[in-house]
Amino acid sequence: MNVLFIGSSSVGPRWIMDALKSKCHNAHGIFTGYEGISLGENAVPFFPPVKDKYLKDKGVGIVGITVDSLNVENALLISKNIKSNNPGIKIIWGGIHPSISPEECIGYPEIDYICMGEGEYPMLELCEALDKIKINGGHNEDTVIKNIWSKKDGSIFKNELRDYVDINTVEFDRSNIYYNGIFTGRGCAGNCTFCCSPYLKKTMESKGRYFRKRELKKVINEIKNMIKSNNQYLLSQLMRKDSLAGKARLLLEIYKYNTSPVRIKDDSFCLDKEWLYEFNSSFSKHFKRRGYICSARVNDITEKVVKSLKEGNCRMIILGFESGDEHYRNKILNKYVSDAEIYKAAKMLRDAGIPILGQWMIGMPGETPAQAVKSLKMSLEVGDIPQVHIATPFPKTKMMDYAIELGLIPPDYKLSVSSIYQDYTMVPAESSSIFRLIYNAFKINSQPLALKNKETIFDRFYNEVNNKKIGEILLKDIQIS
Ligand code: SF4
């Protein structure tokens, strides 16, 4: 079977591609957003060009599209374009949106299948079923695959979910990409109300362990292969350049890549402590000079963990603080971490010389400007490099339930988040200007350390607030320490 995967910055299909290739299927990918990755994927419009000629030349039998709640409309448009000119090509949607909203997704006329949860083995079985149907004239083999819902002759076949995959039986396909990310495991221990993971965990409750770690040896080998294949990719680009300036740019890129840290993509990298200690001891032997960037939950930062991170040359850690207001953070967002724990973790990391990239949200349902200012204040005090996001409640999250409860989103909202984002705002009109100021102050605070001076940022913020004659009362009891 010839399979084409389409996605924007999505790495999920890379695991599936490897599973398919290992069983002699042909898997191609059109992905955007891989280039120049250091802290995360570049944001690019989800509109990869899919030409009919390409589909015909490759003999594509099935197209898999990764769909998250932000790109439903675009995924639908791409599906319609493919289907209208190539009715024989099957289309399957996978990823987060079909997993949380299967009825909606299978209901679109252009969609033949949806895959819920992890896709390696379901997709492999689907390709084998489609091959059987084509070669032996079978009929319903594609309607009985666990994790896959299929649509045939006007009927929808809803199959049950299978257990979580043993992640040591699958690999990440690194052919023809330049991607500096690595997954050392899957799953997390969090229960955050703004994230879809808790919902997915709930639907898979009886299907094994959500949080899984890969064998250390496999991870170390994959990092070696990743560095090798990324360099091969860059060198192949260098060979293609004719101009001296082009070659010089590529050489600089190669230098930059080889001095940049590995990006570990796990949600909770520090959760399994014993694994972490072994990893850092091994990583430091193989890649000490390069170092890495990882994400962790504040709850997992202990003295011993920090020591271990230092040993492995962790060059930056990403922590999701989200809110500087303890009540909002714990009662509304379910982060279960106190102010004291945040300050303690930040101090340990600062003392060890590990920079923190802090994740923050503002404009959350029911959040007051004073609560948002507390986030700015905490960011300045913990000394992080903040990344601030404007909150958007995602379908099937508790944050969405809360937004509905507050009357900010109607209960019959359309599941696609882009429409939620366009049509509704979580911030009341009267405080939108102060939220904008807080957002801007966060942005200034995210500039390189040399330019940062927390008093200046806060003074500037106060001045702007006063000049604009808004928010003085809200801010009067918030002092910078
Ligand atoms: S820790 Fe991360 S992945 Fe887990 S629920 Fe919270 S936000 Fe989601």
Please report, for the domain that includes residue 19, its CATH number. Answer: 3.40.50.280
* DSSP run (H or E) holding 426: none
Same domain, 462 and 313: yes
CA 42 to ligand 1 centroid distance, Å: 21
CA 340 to ligand 1 centroid distance, Å: 21
Q: Is residue 435 part of a domain?
A: yes
CATH code, 401: 3.30.750.200
Same domain, 163 and 266: no
Q: Is the dihedral of CA 39, 45, 92, 69 positive or negative?
A: positive
Angstrom distance (rounded) from CA 24 to CA 59: 15
Same domain, 162 and 267: no
Instruction: Name the domain boundary from 141, 167, 193.
Output: 167
Same domain, 294 and 147: no
Q: Is residue 233 part of a domain?
A: no
Angstrom distance (rounded) from CA 321 to CA 297: 9
Q: Is residue 46 part of a domain?
A: yes
Answer yes or no: are the C-beta atoms of 446 and 386 closer than 8 Å.
yes
Same domain, 157 and 273: no
Instruction: Name the domain boundary from 167, 197, 212.
Output: 167
Range 255-262 average pLDDT? 91
Domain that holds residue 30: 2-167
The half-sphere exposure of 41 on its side-chain side, counting CA atoms within 13 A, is 18
Same domain, 323 and 444: yes
Locus of tokens 């890129």: 253
CA 441 to ligand 1 centroid distance, Å: 26
Tokens standing for residue 85: 């000119």
CA 472 to chain centroid, in Å, comes to 37
406-445 confidence digits (pLDDT tens): 999 998 887 666 666 666 678 888 888 788 888 888 877 7
128-182 confidence digits (pLDDT tens): 999 998 887 777 899 999 999 999 888 999 999 999 999 999 999 888 778 888 9
CA 274 to chain centroid, in Å, comes to 25
Beta bridge partners of 58: none
Instruction: Name the domain boundary from 113, 140, 167.
Output: 167
CA 365 to chain centroid, in Å, comes to 22
Q: Is residue 122 part of a domain?
A: yes
Beta bridge partners of 388: 360
> Phi and psi of 115, rounded to 5°?
-115, 125
Same domain, 355 and 462: yes
Q: Is residue 387 part of a domain?
A: yes
Angstrom distance (rounded) from CA 75 to CA 66: 8
Same domain, 307 and 455: yes
Q: Which residue's C-alpha comes closest to atom 1 of ligand 1?
A: 190
Examine the pLDDT at 34 and tell me if it is beyond 70. no
- The whole-number pLDDT of residue 33 equals 46
What confidence category does residue 40 fall into, taking pLDDT thresholds of 50, 70 and 90? Answer: very low
Number of Cβ atoms within 10 Å of the Cβ of 73 = 12
Same domain, 266 and 374: yes
Q: Is residue 380 part of a domain?
A: yes
CA 70 to ligand 1 centroid distance, Å: 18
Average pLDDT, the chain: 87
Number of Cβ atoms within 10 Å of the Cβ of 434 = 23
Angstrom distance (rounded) from CA 430 to CA 210: 43
* DSSP run (H or E) holding 354: none
Pairing of strands 155-158, 148-152: antiparallel
Examine the pLDDT at 22 and tell me if it is beyond 90. yes
**DSSP 3-state assignment of 396?**
coil
Contacts of 173 (CB under 8 A, 6+ apart): 14, 15, 17, 18, 21, 27
Q: Is residue 239 part of a domain?
A: no
* 20 CB within 6 A, ligand 1: no
Range 313-325 average pLDDT? 97
Based on the structure, what is the number of domains in the chain?
Answer: 2
Q: Which residue's C-alpha comes closest to atom 2 of ligand 1?
A: 267
* 398 CB within 6 A, ligand 1: no
Q: Is residue 190 part of a domain?
A: no
Among residues 187, 213, 186, the alpha carbon closest in space to that of 276 is found at: 213
SS3 content of the chain, % helix, strand, coil (to 5): 45, 15, 40
Specify the range with the lowest mean pLDDT, choosing from 25-34, 77-86, 131-140, 384-393.
Answer: 25-34
CA 361 to ligand 1 centroid distance, Å: 14
Share above pLDDT 70 across residues of the chain, in percent, rounded to a whole number: 86
